[in-house]
């Protein structure tokens, strides 16, 4: 994340990863204030055992792009909904990458961090059958929760 003030909004991503047995490394690295450190982390990430990188930032949100420019690992950008533009600036900065420097992106707002974690887990599950099974079970539990809520609503009507 670009700033420690972002962590409160990113805690759901950390919790989601841990729910599936994946212990994330959580760092504060800024594309603008600590560029050498951010680039160094990205360049060494594969050798350090990382498989997917999640980068959250608001405003100009260059962190995901800078990281992607220094690694061949999948990078998922999490645009944060900071004032004054409510995250539109971060969304555009995250998604509008030049050809050859891909950054996946999730939506702005509360769902973004959890979706980033789930997308990372899906990537990891390509080579981890146990994780794939756990994700399938999770999808099934989501279905059951929605059907139960629908049944409750139908009873109220």
Summarised one tens digit per residue, pLDDT across range 69-128 is 999 999 999 999 999 999 999 999 999 999 999 999 999 999 999 999 999 999 999 999
For residue 117, the model assigns a pLDDT of: 98
For residue 31, the model assigns a pLDDT of: 96
Question: H or E stretch including 154?
Answer: helix 129-156
In whole angstroms, give the CA distance from residue 112 to residue 118. 10
For residue 79, the model assigns a pLDDT of: 97
- DSSP per residue over 8-59, as a string? HHHHHHHHHHHHTT---------TTTSHHHHHHHHHHTTTTT---EEEEE-T
Summarised one tens digit per residue, pLDDT across range 24-80 is 999 999 999 999 999 999 999 999 999 999 999 999 899 999 999 999 999 999 999
- Average pLDDT of the segment spanning 134-149: 97
Closest CA to 11 of 26, 30, 31: 26
For residue 40, the model assigns a pLDDT of: 98
CA geometry: angle 90, 96, 98, nearest 5 deg:
140
For residue 140, the model assigns a pLDDT of: 97
């Amino acid at each position: 994340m670009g700033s420690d003030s972002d962590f409160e909004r990113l805690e759901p991503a950390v919790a989601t990863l841990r729910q599936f047995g994946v212990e994330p490394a959580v760092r504060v690295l800024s594309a603008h204030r600590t560029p050498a450190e951010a680039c160094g982390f990205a360049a060494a990430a594969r050798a350090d055992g990382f498989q997917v990188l999640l980068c959250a930032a608001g405003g100009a949100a260059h962190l995901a792009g800078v990281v992607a420019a220094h690694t061949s690992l999948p990078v998922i950008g999490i645009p944060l909904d900071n004032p004054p533009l409510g995250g539109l600036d971060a969304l555009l900065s995250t998604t509008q990458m030049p050809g050859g420097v891909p950054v996946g992106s999730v939506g702005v707002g509360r769902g973004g961090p959890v979706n980033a974690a789930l997308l990372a887990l899906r990537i990891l599950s390509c080579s981890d059958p146990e994780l794939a099974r756990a994700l399938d079970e999770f999808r099934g539990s989501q279905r059951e929760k929605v059907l139960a809520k629908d049944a409750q609503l139908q009873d109220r009507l």
